[in-house]
Chains A and B, each alone.
Chain A
Amino acid sequence: MDNSALVLTLSSILLASTPLIIAVCGEILTERSGIVNLSLDGTMLMAAMTGFVIAFESNNVWIGFLAAALVGSFFAFIVAFGSIRLRQSQFAIGFVLTLLGDDLSAFLGQNYTRIPGPVVKHYAIPILKDIPIIGPIFFDQDPLVYFAFILVGVTSFWLFRTQPGLRLRSAGERPEAGFARGVNINLQRYLYTVIGGALVGIAGASYSLNIKIGWAEGSTRGFGWIALAIVIFGGWSPVRGMLGALLFGATKALATYLQRTYPEVSVVAFNAIPWVLMILVLLLVGSDFTERMILIAPKSIQRPLQRILRIAPPAALGSSFIED
């Protein structure tokens, strides 16, 4: 593949991975607080539809994004409320919302299918875009791409380098300890589930307003489930989640390329990669394998290795916390 085709491919992989990256960051925040938002797939569909419809009606993409974020946080709020206040299974509620989001988006969006609408304007960053190779890939993109990468940095920094991030993580790791330190556990869970939901909403809209413009029934179907998988095999870390999303985009692009070059080989198998990776990570989490592997590594890199390879889920994920 020659240089310009390579640049084009990489650039489009980046663009295509954007919704996933944003959704993954959002769900990481939610799960770090201890709640699993299983409604991701339905939420993204609703958000994609809402974002497009509102943008279309108001002729302004940013209002569309706002609407999508509201939809996302609303769905997420239902999951949090049902789980914390009503003590119902967060899996059950999330699951129903997934299906509901799919059908509701198809119904409410039925008059807006396959019509063109406003698009997020491309914005190439001056000077930076002229750097050979890297320039066109990273700095000649849509603003959503920049947003996604900044989001990864912000989320990562928030989680691991700030006091609010510590409080958030304590809610997902050991609520009793967080409570003893003055953290309002349920507040953390509501807050970050809603914020995470808003990000998922933005992710959905970024698909219908930036990548595949417009709405069609089921346009983002499957992305939410894949985001859930990426959160897991990215070890609940925004940076690794971003890498996972990029990996997923890359394998898809690779599959398409291979298919064109070698039509007789079926590369449908590539689609299975995120799922196989998710199972592998979960298996590793369940056993001591990674710990033992790290112990074999030279002493000097054990510490950083442990930090990078940490894949365990938040210890209190999915459980409820009842104050005395």
Chain B
Amino acid sequence: MRSGQWVRWIWPAVPIVAALLVTSILLFLFGAAPFEAFQAMYEGAFGDQSKTLSVIAFWIPLLLSSTGLLITFRAGLWNIGIEGQIVMGSIAASWVALSLEAPSAVLITLEILAAMVGGALWAALAAVLKTRGGVHEIFGGLALNSIAIIFTNYLISGPWQPPEGGTFRGTAPFQAGALLPLYANSRFSPLSLVLAVIAFVLVVIALRGTFWGLKLKAIGKNLRSAFLLGVSSEREMILAMMVCGALAGLGGGVRVLSWFDSLRQSISGGIGFLALLVVMLANYNMFLVPLIAFFFSAVLNGSITLQLRTQLHSSLGGILTELMVLFVLLFGDAVKLGISREKDEDGQ
């Protein structure tokens, strides 16, 4: 391989390594040995079965949200509002859990549907604000995120407060039949994994193999040309947002019905924003998304043990992943940096 090509092959690893280096430096500054810290994180993630299951359980709503974002990014949209869509999904599922009485299977089915509808509608709101109102989806999304969170706090401290009085911590635990069946003594619901896998596969097929996916790609590249070729951008954008919202809402439902047993204050756990990072780090490459999401989940969950073991704050995990994304953004593109040219002399 000519030197230009060689650099281009190896370059994607540079930002990752740089992030590891900077994180290690931070660890040094705090008197910790980087290797031990990373080892603690690893054991925190995979040390025993219950930890590993926690990583998987955290991974699932993250995967669902990231999968949804693949759709909106494909259409050229910045769906920052995904946090709110997760929250609304949780709220919708909680409503079913708190209001209805039915056999468990029916209840769970309704909760799942409600979660998807809740997230989809909230996303539709942001979409319509954009297409009809000219409100950029970033600002609409931010506003709707905050409103969703405020709504959650209202519900927790008001109409849905637990019998012993509102504490802003959460609602009363849901009836046992409303919760997703868990595996062993963990927070992992096998059903949710099945749903996540199905969702991912469907989205991959939709984006690569359906006409709708192609339309989204066109919109994401050039709205005007897509329009002239016959693609109605308004409808497709709203649809893309709604599908993403549905998946995010489903993730929210999973959170509230398996990770927790009630609607909590920070129900989304920042998973929406994390999902944005996952897709950005994957450079919008579909197949890297589950892996990177899993990596994020492992690092973040492992950081909790890091804190317990080394007294170092658990935010280190977040720092590592965020530095990776930042460095990839800043200097991950060898071509843009001028280190490698677009086409080598022999036209490769």
Contacts and interface: CB of A to CB of B under 8 A. Distances in A.
Q: Please tell me whether chains A and B touch each other in their complex, using a CB distance cut-off of 8 A.
A: yes
Interface of A: 38, 78, 82, 86-88, 91-93, 95-97, 99-100, 102-104, 106-108, 110, 217, 222, 225, 228-229, 232, 266, 268-269, 271-272, 275-276, 278-279, 282-283, 285-287
B218 interface: no
Contacts of B153: 268
Contacts of A228: 139, 142
A112 to B, nearest CB: 11
B194 interface: no
A276 B147 contact: yes
B329 A269 contact: no
Interface in B107-165: 129, 133-136, 138-140, 142-144, 146-147, 150, 153-154, 157-158
Interface stretch (B98-106, B209-217, B287-295, B315-323): B315-323
Nearest to B319: A103
Contacts of A283: 129, 133-135
B147 A268 contact: no
Contacts of A217: 313, 315
A82 B330 contact: yes
Contacts of B134: 282-283, 285-287
Taking residues whose C-beta sits less than 8 angstroms from the other chain, chain B's interface range is 35 or more
B248 to A, nearest CB: 17
Given A97-B326, A275-B143, A283-B129, A103 B315 contact: yes
A222 B142 CA distance: 11
Interface stretch (B196-204, B230-238, B272-280): B272-280
A272 B150 contact: yes
B329 A106 contact: no
B329 A82 contact: yes
Contacts of A287: 133-134
Contact of A272 (B146, B157, B322): B146
Interface of B: 26, 78, 80, 129, 133-136, 138-140, 142-144, 146-147, 150, 153-154, 157-158, 270, 273, 276-277, 280, 312-313, 315-316, 318-319, 322-323, 325-326, 329-331, 336-337
A95 B276 contact: yes
A96 B322 contact: yes
B330 A88 contact: yes
29 contacts: A78-B330, A91-B78, A96-B322, A97-B326, A99-B277, A99-B322, A100-B322, A102-B315, A104-B319, A106-B315, A107-B26, A110-B313, A217-B313, A222-B146, A229-B139, A229-B143, A268-B158, A269-B150, A272-B146, A272-B147, A275-B144, A275-B147, A278-B139, A282-B129, A282-B134, A282-B136, A282-B140, A283-B135, A286-B134
A38 B80 CA distance: 11
B161 to A, nearest CB: 10
A138 B106 CA distance: 61
Nearest to B158: A266
B322 A103 contact: yes
Contacts of A100: 318-319, 322-323, 326
A286 B158 contact: no
B305 to A, nearest CB: 16
Contacts of A87: 336
A282 B139 contact: yes
B273 to A, nearest CB: 6
Given A82-B330, A96-B277, A99-B277, A225 B147 contact: no
A108 B337 CA distance: 31
A319 to B, nearest CB: 13
Contacts of B323: 100
Contacts of B277: 96, 99
B319 A271 contact: no
A97 B276 CA distance: 13
A91 B141 CA distance: 13
Contacts of A286: 133-135
A278 B136 CA distance: 11
A286 B136 CA distance: 10
Given A110-B312, A283-B135, A99 B329 contact: no
Contacts of A96: 277, 280, 322, 325-326, 329
Contacts of A229: 139, 142-143
Contact of B329 (A88, A268, A278, A282): A88
A144 B115 CA distance: 46
A209 to B, nearest CB: 22
A86 B338 CA distance: 10
B318 A99 contact: yes
A302 B79 CA distance: 39
Contacts of A272: 146-147, 150
Contacts of B326: 93, 96-97, 100
A269 B277 CA distance: 30
Contacts of A108: 26
B313 A107 contact: yes
Contacts of B330: 78, 82, 86, 88, 93
Contacts of B280: 92, 96
Contact of A282 (B135, B147, B157): B135
Nearest to B153: A268
Contacts of B136: 282
B2 to A, nearest CB: 25
A235 B316 CA distance: 38
B316 A99 contact: no
A28 B320 CA distance: 31
Nearest to B26: A107
A159 B143 CA distance: 28
In the complex, which of the residues A96, A232, A275 has the most CB atoms of chain B within 10 Å of its own CB atom?
Answer: A96
